[in-house]
């Protein structure tokens, strides 16, 4: 195996990552582990053990922007701020990046999407996350990783599209909105995180965990392609959302893995949508 080769996109298996690293492959590893109910849990877990050399990135501090109270719980960071942060992690055009977490890959998918949105192409998610790595016999170390800091990531065109609430309101029916939240949240039966329960009128539900096998890895590409094809909508007309624009990235990653690129993210998602009482709400 050529250790200088770019990673497969958008997923890389644990065994292949071990083989590449053993052969001298130089990449930036990002530990994206997080817990919405305990926002310090991921950082504590990282201090106890992580992939060799991995850097910890925090959903709130590193993978989100400033909250206004009306732009959702995890708004996108400003592109220049993200460019500076990414450069500080040692990421530059052509530098391979592998993102992972221990929660089924939603936070790794968020980092993957943000890097693609910034214009970075050489990024993959570790399929199965930390559990797959440890199951494959990978080293698990507590020594902190050291970033080879660079300047800000140079401006590039976004490789991932985003759609805002006003466009969804102006053109109802133009897009198929796919909500990644659990079915009971989608139906409005429970709402543990946001002040209003329900969903965007006309949206369909695709719980992000349905992308995974029982062992925590993504389903085969052909299986996912069949499931998304059943929507009967071209990928370019699909807009993914969730509670705050995080687990929606899991569905976007699944579509990329399935060979169905081109779908968009509604970054503010339900937490932004329901912050404006003028926007319509559907339940059941």
Given this model, what pLDDT does residue 32 score? 98
Average pLDDT score over residue span 206-234: 97
The pLDDT of residue 9: 81
Instruction: Assess contact for 121 and 159: CB atoms under 8 A.
Output: yes
- Checking if the pLDDT of 3 tops 70, the result is no
Decide if pLDDT at 2 tops 70: no
DSSP state of 211: G
Residue 172: what pLDDT?
A: 86
Short-list 90, 91, 152, 133, CA closest to 116: 91
CATH architecture of 11-135: 3-Layer(aba) Sandwich (3.40)
Two tokens at 250?
């899991």
Find where tokens 């389903």 sit. Answer: 219
How many residues appear in the chain? 284
Q: How many CA atoms, within 13 angstroms, populate the side-chain half-sphere of residue 29?
A: 26
Tokens of 211: 């992308």
pLDDT at 5 over 90: no
SS3 179: strand
Q: Are 149 and 238 in contact (CB under 8 A)?
A: no
Check 32, 99, 242, 249 and give the catalytic one. 242
Predicted TM-score (pTM) of this structure:
0.97
The distance of Cα 94 from the centroid of its chain, to the nearest Å, equals: 20
For CATH 3.40.250.10, the residue range(s) in the chain are 11-135, 165-273
Which CATH number applies to 165-273? Answer: 3.40.250.10
What does the pLDDT look like over 91-112, one tens digit per residue?
Answer: 999 999 999 999 999 999 999 9
DSSP letter (8 states) at residue 208: G
Q: Which pLDDT value is given to residue 173?
A: 86
242: annotated active-site residue: yes
Name the pLDDT band for 4 (thresholds 50, 70, 90): low
User: Would the pLDDT of 258 be above 80?
Assistant: yes
Average pLDDT for residues 140-161, to the nearest whole number?
96
Helix axes 248-257, 106-118, angle to 10 degrees: 70
Indicate the SS3 state at residue 17: helix
Q: What tokens appear for 107 in the block?
A: 């936070």
Phi/psi at 28 (nearest 5 deg)?
A: -100, 125
Q: Encoding tokens for residue 116?
A: 């693609």
**pLDDT averaged over every residue in the chain:** 96
Q: Residue 253 above 60 pLDDT? A: yes
């Amino acid at each position: 195996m050529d250790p200088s080769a770019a990673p497969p996109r958008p997923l890389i298996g644990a065994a292949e990552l071990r083989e590449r690293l053993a052969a001298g492959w130089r990449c930036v590893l990002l530990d994206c582990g997080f817990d919405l109910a305990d926002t310090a849990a991921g950082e504590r877990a990282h201090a106890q053990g992580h992939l060799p050399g991995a850097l910890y990135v925090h959903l709130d501090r590193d993978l989100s922007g400033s909250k206004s109270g009306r732009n959702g719980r995890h708004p996108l960071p400003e592109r220049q701020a993200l460019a500076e942060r990414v450069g500080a992690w040692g990421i530059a055009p052509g530098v391979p990046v592998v993102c992972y977490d221990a929660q089924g890959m939603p936070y790794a998918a968020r980092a993957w999407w943000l890097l693609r949105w910034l214009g970075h192409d050489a990024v993959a998610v570790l399929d199965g996350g930390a559990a797959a790595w440890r199951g494959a016999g990978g080293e698990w170390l507590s020594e902190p990783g050291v970033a080879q800091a660079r300047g800000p990531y140079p401006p590039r065109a976004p490789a991932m599209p985003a759609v805002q609430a006003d466009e969804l309101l102006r053109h109802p029916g133009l897009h198929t909105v796919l909500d990644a939240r659990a079915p009971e949240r989608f139906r409005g039966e429970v709402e543990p995180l946001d002040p209003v329960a329900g969903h965007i009128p006309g949206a369909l539900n695709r719980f992000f965990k349905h992308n995974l096998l029982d062992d925590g890895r993504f389903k085969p590409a052909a299986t996912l392609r069949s499931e998304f094809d059943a929507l009967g909508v071209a990928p370019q007309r699909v807009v993914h959302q969730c509670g705050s624009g995080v687990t929606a990235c899991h569905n976007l990653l699944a579509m990329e893995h399935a060979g169905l690129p081109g779908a968009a993210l509604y970054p503010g998602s339900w937490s932004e949508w329901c912050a404006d009482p003028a926007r319509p709400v559907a339940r059941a």
